[in-house]
A and B are shown apart, each in its own frame.
Chain A
Amino acid sequence: MDFLNAVVALTNFVLIPAIAYGSQLALGALGVTLIYGILRFSNFAHGDSMAFGAMVTILVTWWFQSMGVSIAPLPTALLALPFGIVGTGLMLLATDRVVYRFYRRVKAKPIVFVMASMGVMFIMNGLVRFVIGPDDQRFADGARFIISARDFKEWSGLREGLAFKTSQGLTIVTAVIVVAALFWFLNKTRTGKSMRAFSDNEDLALLSGINPERVVMITWMIVAGLITIAGVLYGLDKTFKPFTYFQLLLPIFASAIVGGLGNPLGAIAGGFVIAFSEVGVTYAWKKVVTYLLPESLAPSSLVQLMSTDYKFAVSFVILIIVLLFKPTGLFRGQSV
């Protein structure tokens, strides 16, 4: 019984939150890695583009809610998601047309792209705050829980509750579907193959007749899908506040780099490595350990490696360790 309690407590406070967070990071990191692989620069505007995508979706969600459209028990935001993706895609293409295309034409160095993307980041940041405001926005509706802690306790008779939120379930399911679709697209379709060819060797790809502007456009559209989905899922699961999306940039980049920049599989692995380390290192293990050990050995301290304030420091440390010992990342991407 104690063993079961320990497993449930661990699942409730570590496994479920970390898997959901890892899926969100993985989707974000996939976008970073695609841009890095195909457009060859680190897009600093990524976090704020995520906020933009989530914002468009939220505005459409509110509109649906005001008309009484709903797909309960699922959140209405899912219905609004396609609109958000289209809106974000248009925005990204417009940015590409106005900013990045010029630098591509003059064959600017990657660092110039990075600086330009920082400019885009600040503009996007301001735009989102201007439209929706800097505060928390609530847009989640539908059933809140798949399994609620109280029901689980009654059903199982255990001391520990297990909660599984709808948003967490959605995040995991959506991430699996999106990742599967993306890999199918990249590996099986003609367009996907041409994208990979462009990423592997630009000159050879051009010689074989691949239209670079088309590849760039499709990349932006896929990225728009990925970041809008990631942004909306993060907002549903936690809360939508523009500033937190800006802060997400660090763990997302850490995920992409840890996994190996430019390698989609690495981005996913990196997302989960970062999420599990952040949650695991800052979790107080006292409860789990107390259930597992005999009473005489029960710890009096919290068994917490690091205070939760240092959550972001964990991503930094992992990033540095990986860059020191395996600069190409766990899955052999490009070195930075």
Chain B
Amino acid sequence: MKKFLMATAATALMSGAAFAEDVKIGVLLGFTGPLESLAPHIAGGAELAVQEVNDSGLFMDGSTVSAVRADATCVDAAAATAAAERLITSDGVKGIVGAMCSGATGAVLTSVSLPNGIVQISPSATSPGLSTIEDNGLFFRLAPSDARQGELMADIIKGRGIDEVAVTYTNNDYGKGLADSFAAAFEAAGGTVTINAAHEEGKADYSAEVGALASAGGQALVVAGYSDQGGSGIIQGSLDTGAFDTFVLPDGMVSDVLTEKFGSDLDGSFGQHPSSANDGAGKLEEMLAAVDLDGTSPYAKEGYDSAAVLLLAMQAAGSTDGAAVSKAILDIANAPGEPIGPGELGKALEILAGGGEIDYVGGSDVELIGPGESGGSYREVEIEGGEIKAVKFH
């Protein structure tokens, strides 16, 4: 009997040691494609969080974490799902940070994460469609839905006494989602949308599109596009022909690229983008700068926070099982509990290991609402003297 007890104890110890494993998480982003310039900063952010967790040595009884990169391409849903499939079946990842673009994110969720019961956290997908998608509670995002941005943009425009606008959007899930939610909110508030027209990226000449927008008219032009390509083409065409002087710029357009290109021609234009005013943001930017990453690049902070939330939830659940992890996410991301900023992941792991509660705040002021998405705080900006100036936070 004594021997039997000894043997059991030994087995228990052995198996305890076996629990300390290498947990892999996938970093599935658009490393190639129309947002390839943003991906390295988001991935670097996620890997920084992984590094920090490993350095603490406190993750799940001494387990280590490694991040595996995969390319979701942004535009090719088939390539994104194939990459996600490979992450799960051949690399054996237990959770996915990604994807970046709304279309790829939805495709990966529906055909890979959901059937495999894997938790997926997107740092940057903003399409309103993802709020209502069937996800069995496995999908989260740290970017706010564009439905929220659309409503806020309508408020800001009305608040400036503008009642009639023309809208043009880049022809994809992001552009269309944002334009539609804005048009609905603006019309509900008593405004008029004279035209809601798509434009394609990467054309040489947008004079035909601008002609249609100008013909429809309006006091301002809402450009739900990308600053690097079509969006600035539309603005260029509008300024050249004198069709519009005032532009409303949502998140994809608030960029120094625009002010460098057009300078003070854009004075009086305004917009908003997701951003928070807390101290964590500055601290995370410093941490990222120390490893040669740009923390002000869109969604780089969310990249760090996505990986951190995923790993802390695993710690809280005491398991890497998708269902258990997904249940823990809302607990660690929201109050009550000890607030956790960037660089404090070790402390958070310790509290969770001791059975305590945390409220992860991170660099992007993480607060999950509704179906597990960021409530979103936005910064209203205005262009003055050829520079982007912050007006206030919403």
B204 touches A238 (CB 8 A): yes
- Interface flags for A4-41 (1: CB within 8 Å of B; 0: not) read 00000100111001000100000000000000000000
**Additional A-B contact list (12), CB under 8 Å, known A285-B215, A302-B212, A308-B199:** A9-B215, A17-B211, A136-B229, A149-B241, A165-B240, A234-B204, A237-B205, A282-B212, A284-B195, A286-B215, A286-B216, A308-B209
- Chain A contacts for B200, CB-based, 8 A: 309
Closest 5 CB pairs of A and B: A149-B242, A161-B242, A284-B215, A244-B204, A284-B212
A161 touches B241 (CB 8 A): yes
- Interface flags for B194-230 (1: CB within 8 Å of A; 0: not) read 0101111011110111111011110000000000010
- Interface flags for A240-259 (1: CB within 8 Å of B; 0: not) read 01011000000000000000
- Chain A contacts for B202, CB-based, 8 A: 241, 243
- Chain A contacts for B208, CB-based, 8 A: 278-279, 282-283, 308, 311
B241 touches A13 (CB 8 A): yes
- Chain A contacts for B211, CB-based, 8 A: 13-14, 17, 279, 282-284, 308
Q: Known interface pairs A149-B242, A165-B240, A243-B202. Does A17 touch B215 (Cβ–Cβ under 8 Å)?
A: no
**B interface residues, tally (CB under 8 Å):** 24
A129 within 8 A of B: no
A163 touches B205 (CB 8 A): no
- Chain A contacts for B233, CB-based, 8 A: 239
CB-based nearest A residue for B242: A149
CB-based nearest B residue for A303: B215
Interface centre among A17, A234, A307 (most CB of B within 10 A): A17
Q: Known interface pairs A284-B212, A309-B200. Does A163 touch B242 (Cβ–Cβ under 8 Å)?
A: yes
**13 intermolecular pairs with C-beta atoms under 8 Å apart:** A13-B211, A13-B214, A17-B207, A17-B211, A149-B240, A163-B240, A237-B205, A278-B208, A279-B208, A283-B211, A302-B195, A302-B215, A303-B215
A129 to B210, CA, bound (A): 29
- Interface flags for B135-176 (1: CB within 8 Å of A; 0: not) read 000000000000000000000000000000000000000000
A241 to B230, CA, bound (A): 13
A244 touches B203 (CB 8 A): yes
- Interface flags for A305-318 (1: CB within 8 Å of B; 0: not) read 00111010000000
A153 to B214, CA, bound (A): 15
A95 within 8 A of B: no
- Chain B contacts for A244, CB-based, 8 A: 203-204
Q: How large is the interface on A (under 10, 10 to 19, 20 to 34, 35 or more residues)?
A: 35 or more
B215 touches A13 (CB 8 A): yes
A241 to B203, CA, bound (A): 9
- Chain A contacts for B209, CB-based, 8 A: 308
| Distance (whole angstroms) from the CB of A206 to the closest CB of chain B | 43
Q: Known interface pairs A150-B242, A165-B240, A244-B203. Does A283 touch B198 (Cβ–Cβ under 8 Å)?
A: no
- Chain B contacts for A311, CB-based, 8 A: 208
- Chain B contacts for A335, CB-based, 8 A: none
- Chain B contacts for A308, CB-based, 8 A: 197, 199, 208-209, 211-212
Residues of chain A whose beta carbon lies under 8 Å from any beta carbon of chain B? 9, 12-14, 17, 21, 136, 144-145, 148-150, 152-153, 161-163, 165, 234, 237-239, 241, 243-244, 278-279, 282-288, 302-304, 307-309, 311
Interface centre among B210, B217, B242 (most CB of A within 10 A): B242
- Chain A contacts for B241, CB-based, 8 A: 12-13, 149, 161, 163
CB-based nearest B residue for A289: B215
| Distance (whole angstroms) from the CB of B4 to the closest CB of chain A | 71
A148 to B211, CA, bound (A): 16
- Chain A contacts for B216, CB-based, 8 A: 284, 286, 302
- Chain A contacts for B214, CB-based, 8 A: 13, 287
- Chain B contacts for A14, CB-based, 8 A: 211
| Distance (whole angstroms) from the CB of B269 to the closest CB of chain A | 16
Q: Known interface pairs A282-B208, A308-B208. Does A287 touch B242 (Cβ–Cβ under 8 Å)?
A: no
Q: Known interface pairs A153-B242, A163-B240. Does A287 touch B205 (Cβ–Cβ under 8 Å)?
A: no
| Distance (whole angstroms) from the CB of B376 to the closest CB of chain A | 32
| Distance (whole angstroms) from the CB of B38 to the closest CB of chain A | 16
Interface centre among B198, B200, B205 (most CB of A within 10 A): B205
CB-based nearest B residue for A144: B240
B198 touches A287 (CB 8 A): no
- Chain B contacts for A284, CB-based, 8 A: 195, 211-212, 215-216
A304 touches B212 (CB 8 A): yes
- Chain A contacts for B240, CB-based, 8 A: 144-145, 149, 163, 165
| Distance (whole angstroms) from the CB of A146 to the closest CB of chain B | 12
CB-based nearest A residue for B208: A308
CB-based nearest B residue for A239: B204
- Chain B contacts for A234, CB-based, 8 A: 204
CB-based nearest B residue for A165: B240
Interface centre among A144, A238, A288 (most CB of B within 10 A): A238
CB-based nearest A residue for B240: A163
| Distance (whole angstroms) from the CB of B14 to the closest CB of chain A | 57
A121 to B217, CA, bound (A): 42
- Chain B contacts for A163, CB-based, 8 A: 240-242
Q: Known interface pairs A149-B240, A163-B242. Does A239 touch B215 (Cβ–Cβ under 8 Å)?
A: no
CB-based nearest A residue for B241: A163
CB-based nearest A residue for B232: A136
CB-based nearest A residue for B239: A149
A279 to B208, CA, bound (A): 7
Chain B stretch 223-275: residues in CB contact (< 8 A) with chain A: 229, 233, 240-242
Q: Known interface pairs A12-B241, A149-B241, A150-B242. Does A287 touch B215 (Cβ–Cβ under 8 Å)?
A: yes
- Chain B contacts for A162, CB-based, 8 A: 242
A12 to B238, CA, bound (A): 11
A152 to B241, CA, bound (A): 11
| Distance (whole angstroms) from the CB of B211 to the closest CB of chain A | 4
A149 to B203, CA, bound (A): 23
| Distance (whole angstroms) from the CB of A6 to the closest CB of chain B | 12
A9 to B217, CA, bound (A): 12
- Chain B contacts for A21, CB-based, 8 A: 205
